[in-house]
Chain A
Amino acid sequence: MKKTLLVLILVAAVVVGMGHKAPVSKAQDEVTLTLGSWRVDDVEQIDALTAAFHEAYPNINVVFDPTNPPDYNATLQSQFETGNAPDLMYLRSFAVGRGLYDQGFISDISDVPGLTDAFTEGSLAAWSTEDGVHYGVPLMAVSHGIYYNVDLFNELGIEIPQTWEELLAAAQVLKDNGYDAFANASGEPWTIAEIVFMNLAPNFIGGYEGRMAYLNGERCFNDEHSVAAFQAMADLAPYVPEDNSALTYYDSQQIFLLGEAGMWMGGSWDIPFFESEEPDFDWSVFAVPAPAAQEEEYVTFHVDAAIGMNAATEHPDEARLFLQWMTTPEFAALFGNLLPGFFPLNVQAPTLDDPHADAFLKLNEGRGLDVRWAWEGLLDGEPTGYNLMQDNAIAVLNGEITPQEAADNLQNGLAEWFAPAQACGQ
């Protein structure tokens, strides 16, 4: 009886409220949404983006409120626990974002109109459950490739390598002429993991399908493909700078920019840095080539961030409007041009004004795309696949272990906790 009464009162209140609201002009019920993020560098660009949204939806303001990257996960978790989380927030791909969804902090947004038309299953997968629930609208990906010094390549008559063997031959030419072939260095270990090893790995393990074969236990992590990927690290060893173990990421960038090295295996996020640091320097990119015997080629096109919605937001309708806007080609074009090097994932890829960003995006044509090897599944236990790949790739690069030993270490390390690795090859 009490319940019924309560429901009646609530219904009455809503009806009265609606009736009251109807004549009120839009400007009066202006809504402000906060957007949490770890991209503290992008304030200006995202502000421009949200301003464009505000123009389309004048009653909604979106305020960008980023947190220092190392603290982002813990801060966001605490905000959720204390009920202070932003309405919309950047979600990291796979494990970390999934943790938030599993705790019930972020909404199922599968029903946002246009979501499944605007993005491929592959892009959506990083923020989806096994049951097909989507909890994030894919925002951006970063691409990987090999930066090269155009003038130096012309001067030495080097063609853009079409196979892994040609790449090594080109590296030899550079070395013979007194240049470093690759500016990459291992002083900051993550660079070897993310922009060298995981950059080249898809070509050796066979992209998405190959990676899945590891994740479902068909392949062991020390099979021939994995050994081949580590062998590629050994192939590169003669062509990296001397004493690279004490050179930092910044050193590498400068070595390449100063023309002391012909190539740099790198990520698309450095486009703005290279352009602003050395505007007259003529560089471009090509994709890591596959071995000669292999037809398929792959690019590491890593889905990096999505935007999700707070399950407890006071303005779910407005937040959904923003997410819906994110699925439009207009958003993709705006985002891609505001942040060169960070690529929108919309299937209708925009044309990018920045020639370098455009060159990077063109690498995707005719090639299989996949995320970085260690991200899906392999970060969920200790030791992480990431650390194993990083440490062993560096050890191979420094000639401390053989590619076979590196692959064995990867397999044995993962077999400590990763079920498919424990039961693999059977």
Chain B
Amino acid sequence: MAFIQKTLRKFGLLDDWQAPRRRAWLVFLIPGLIIYTLFMAYPLVNSMRLSFYTGTGLRPDHFVGLDNYKTLFGDTLWNERFTNALSNTFIFFGIHMAVQNSLGLLFATILSQKHLLGRNIYRTFIFIPATMSVLLTAFLWRLILNPRWGMLKALLERIGHEDWFKAWLGDTKYALIVVSLVSSWQWVGLPTMMFLAGFLRIPDELVEAARVDGANAFQIWLRIKLPLLKPIIGIVTILTFIGNFNAFDVVYAMMGANGPPQYSTDIMGTFFYRAAIAGEHPVARSDMGIGAAVATITFLILMVGVSSWLIFSRQQSEEAVLG
């Protein structure tokens, strides 16, 4: 009892309310702090700790220092797979930015036109793929692109351009691009909605003022709307970045855990899955320790990316305030 009283007093919640009241916020942090520590910080730190261990079970117990990282960066085969997965993930991210987010911006621009007929119908159509299971869209697209009985091939035959069709999913040059496009197709609804919300929030007065000043529609979009959308573009970029570096499902569902053909669709998610959980068929020799090392590197990449955006956006908003 005395302890509780003491603690409460310490946080300024007993006796004289007025003076220490500024410190009272501390107490409201406690529930969040406990939950966050227990379910986020501890597993995260523990996963980093595991990256210094090795072992064949779910709990690596043999301390090896930096050996897992040495393997990832030093061993020819591991390093080849690792850099391949890393660069594929950057390509995967690049295509999402170029296709998914640009299309999202375009769709949001169109949907924000007040006189557009059937606006809600378009909006629904654009968002529908995002509500579907990845397994479903992956299967759907594998069928469409199937070189034997796929719809796309039949369509191209119908218009007399059979030669345009290639077995893209079996080609190391195209497979990753196709998988990225399928993923972009599925998720384009999310940036569209966020950009649309951003566009709709822009005050009409600004647009009208620009129009009075003689700006045409494109100029208004480029000079007025786009700069005001900057924070949302930043958030969408960072969400795409995080999503892509943690992506696993679309490649796993469409291509399999090895990222075939020839590891050309292997991304960080599938690489991690093989290293930590499944191993490579048929040996299935996996090592949680090296998996934890892969996860730690992914985390560091994400942290660098997200923090640099945070710093950048803070500078931006400070500049905006200071004029």
Contact = CB atoms under 8 A, between A and B. Distances in A.
Interface in B261-306: 261-262, 277-286, 288
A169 B59 CA distance: 55
A285 B274 CA distance: 35
A282 to B, nearest CB: 23
- Nearest first, the 9 closest Cβ-Cβ pairs linking A and B are A245-B170, A243-B147, A246-B170, A243-B167, A246-B167, A77-B57, A78-B57, A78-B58, A70-B278
Question: What is the predominant secondary structure among interface residues of chain A facing chain B?
Answer: helix
A130 interface: no
A73 interface: yes
Interface in B219-252: none
Contacts of A107: none
A74 B262 contact: no
Nearest to B260: A189
B168 interface: yes
A386 B61 CA distance: 29
B282 A379 contact: yes
B147 A74 contact: no
Given A70-B257, A71-B278, A245-B170, 6 more contacts: A70-B278, A92-B284, A245-B261, A247-B146, A255-B148, A384-B283
A163 interface: no
A245 B284 CA distance: 24
Contacts of B281: 190
B167 A245 contact: yes
A391 B262 CA distance: 7
A95 B167 contact: no
B170 A74 contact: no
Interface in A60-78: 70-75, 77-78
Contacts of A190: 281-282
Contacts, number: 94
A158 to B, nearest CB: 23
Contacts of A386: 282-283
Contact of B285 (A96, A194, A383): A96
Most-contacted residue by chain B among A188, A242, A245 (CB, 10 A): A245
Given A73-B284, A243-B147, A391-B262, A187 B59 contact: no
A251 B146 contact: yes
Interface string B142-183: 100111100000000000000000111111000000000000
Contacts of A379: 282-283
Contact residues on A (Cβ < 8 Å of other chain), bracket: 35 or more
Given A96-B285, A243-B167, A386-B282, A74 B277 contact: yes
Most-contacted residue by chain A among B61, B171, B257, B283 (CB, 10 A): B283
Contact of B142 (A71, A73, A80, A248): A248
Interface string B103-114: 000000000000
A387 interface: yes
Contacts of A81: 57, 59, 61
A73 B262 CA distance: 25
Contact of A77 (B58, B142, B167, B280): B58
Contacts of B148: 241, 243, 247, 251, 255
B56 interface: yes
A128 B196 CA distance: 66
A382 interface: yes
B256 A77 contact: no
Interface residues of B, number: 35
Contacts of A242: 147
Interface string A375-398: 100010011101100010010000
Nearest to A248: B142
Contacts of B59: 78, 81
Contacts of A58: none
B258 interface: yes
Contacts of B284: 70, 72-73, 92, 96
Interface in A173-189: 186-189
A180 to B, nearest CB: 10
B145 A74 contact: no
A246 B168 contact: yes
Nearest to B288: A74
A73 B279 contact: yes
A392 to B, nearest CB: 11
A246 B142 CA distance: 9
Nearest to B262: A391
A243 B170 CA distance: 8
A386 B279 CA distance: 13
B77 interface: yes
A254 to B, nearest CB: 8
B262 A246 contact: no
A225 to B, nearest CB: 23
